[in-house]
Structure 1
Amino acid sequence: MNLSWRYGLALIAVVSVAHVVSYSGPDLPPGPYCAAKPDSCCNGREDRCSAPILGTLCYCDDFCNRTTTDDCCPDFWSHCHGINPESTPETLRICFYNGREYEYGKKVTTNCNKCECTAVNEQLDMICEADPCMIEPELISEVNNDPTISWKAANYTPFWGHKLSEGIELRLGTLTPQKSTYGMVSLHPIYDSKRMARSFSALVNWPNKMAPIHDQGWCGASWAITTADVASDRFVIMSDGLETPELSAQQLLSCNNRGQQSCNGGYLDIAWQFSRKIGLVNEECFPYVGGNKKCTIPWKKTKSLKGSGCIPPSSPPTRVNRYTVSPAHRLGNETDIMYEIINSGPVQATMRVYQDFFAYTDGIYKKSRYVPQQLYGYHSVRIVGWGDENGIKYWLAANSWGESWGENGYFRIVRGVNECEIESFVIGVWAFTVENKAGVIG
């Protein structure tokens, strides 16, 4: 029996089972029943696949045992599955799975994989999908029991029961930069790298001023959230705290649609071009919904906040137009990134995310050897500081999976070795505040 139509994935046969039919005995009409029907009647759920019997109907589809009293035709098992219930041992008529018994057609779910009692090779087997899940208890145990790993893993409930492919598609969302973008000129400021602070945190240096932790939900929106958050941070810092906007990631998801894919991912360079040329509104004006919401900002007709349907800030300095930034610039190495953060604020970074990162709970992350190397996706995060612990240098970064993930929504990752490519594509911008006026729309 071909099961690829139902699963489309690797299957695991577990234990045999058969089902005793109710229609049997010498007084039954000889038939044939299922044998007289098209072959397709043995698959799926087709009420038309029935035959008259004893003043009622018997069925030949795979859901014939749809009631507490079986209504399969007498030749269902022999014709459709090559099973003779009368000759099948009693011990093979029950499906044993995880210590429990299941009847034919019964479905169960184990973590992110579905299982079903199905006829295979002249018997009934419990067939299960075998996809990797976002959260795997075995992986958590391997990480936590490895003394060489400097971080801990745990079950993050919102990710339990979801396939790893779902996480890569909908919990990340940054598309690999185009080759031309990788050629972006890197800034190389003049400074003494040996005098760089051993540790620094934008959260401490600018307390209660940095963008909060967000939860992108099941929407590949990291590209939009980090762009809006880094821009928000830069406006606070570059205006000396006079402008404190929380800028809208939803505007990027909904309105920055040329070359972007909304919840299916976006390019960082295109997001920054939109922020520079069109300008962003605040979160209150266009709140985040984590979905493909229609763009309601008439950005082609006006450049002002009021004309965009937003309420301009009431406290000085008075801003009339949307929030815009300079062209984005790339940062070339570890110390350049540190210098940028300490002088201008948090930066945007792209990293590879492997299966174990979804289960990170605390410590200094480094990809473990227990994950499939070929399964990963790209994700944008906001680096807000750095430090070292027990001789291990790390970056402090803000994620977008909610405050209950990781270290209150943040994580630390090994610094200076380009772990998970986190130092390969790091972006900074200059915020055009009302005070500096340069480049402000209008």
Structure 2
Amino acid sequence: MSASPPAPWAHARSLVYAAGLAAVLPAVELPLAETDGHTLAEPLTPRTDLPAFPTSSVDGWAVRGTGPWRVVGRVLAGGAPAPLTEDGTTVEIATGAMVPAGASAVLRVEESTRTPEGFVDGVPRSSPQWRQPGEEATVGEELLPAGTPVDPAVIGLAASCGLDTLRVRRQPRTALLVFGDELLTAGPPGAGQVRDALGPAVPGWLRRYGCRVDSDDVVGPVADTLPAHVAAMRAALEVADLVCTTGGTMHGPVDHLHPALAELGAEYVVNTVAVRPGFPMLLARLVGADGRVRFVAGLPGNPQSAVIALVSLVVPLLAGLAGRSLPTLPHAVLTGPVAGRGDHTHLALVRLDRVAGTAHPVRHVGSAMLRGLAAADGFAVIDPGGTGSVGDRVPVVPLPLLPGERAW
């Protein structure tokens, strides 16, 4: 594999998205309750008209002809009423119940009276007080296209359509390999060693972005030798669609990621991105003997840089693998200045006020720091050669809040 100049940040997002879309994951059929966080693999269409029958919008009386009306029955939700065949008759009806054939109007209960003889009287409103079949949708109509993220609202809509399962894209199985002999997995840092912050944190980010990460898919610290790197990556690629690694993305004496990728026969999709923090990041592609495409995302060892690599390369890749659109970035107005980073895009940590549409720069934003990240909701995008001034409206890369939650 040959090195290439750093890719502009926006171009890198497009490249990895296209690579993911070219390797879109297969569709699976899942029960509705198991589809949250997945992506529709085919359009969502109803099995019947919605509603499937005329449905009362109110509690009251389904009447035929002019009043006063003689009460001949009652219809509740879930029942199939007999038709009204005589003028001057009515049935009591509940909200959501099927309107009987022959009814000319539905009279609201609060606008009705009872005569001494037990008849119902009143003046029905001129507007229909029931929902007509197909008012919301007709059978076979495309309600949502393939590529739509599935959330509880989509699941509820699918259930109302009469569906028991959905065809969705299989979630990518993702492994994490943590590189670095200097890392501790327990206790306080000291004596030249630092605590591994990415091993415990990155799986949570990946799950929030729709990945499957099992406990045995997190491995490390992997010894700082080329054979150890190759063996760990080879094992992870046996089961994973995407392998994320932390550290080793430069070309130092113990940075073995690039040589390991070369030994495994990988090709770069993106090799370094002109973005700060997070400059030494990469995405590589491998085709297995089974013909299946797998990916390796090289995340920098500095924690904030690693998260920037996730939002810059992994998130667009996952969108492609799921058959979704490339995420469109929302915009917010800066409430404080943000420095530029020369020829590189600057992703600056901000706290978002979604009501006001503003982005507030936070402190403690060094690439090795996590304090600022813990207080932030996303990154303001400052273009190469520019700076961010108070009042500027800039793109924002939001961070997800909960698994599967839309971040903006």
Both structures adopt the same fold (TM-score exceeding 0.5): no
Greater strand content: 2
Normalization by structure 2: what TM-score?
A: 0.25
Normalization by structure 1: what TM-score?
A: 0.23
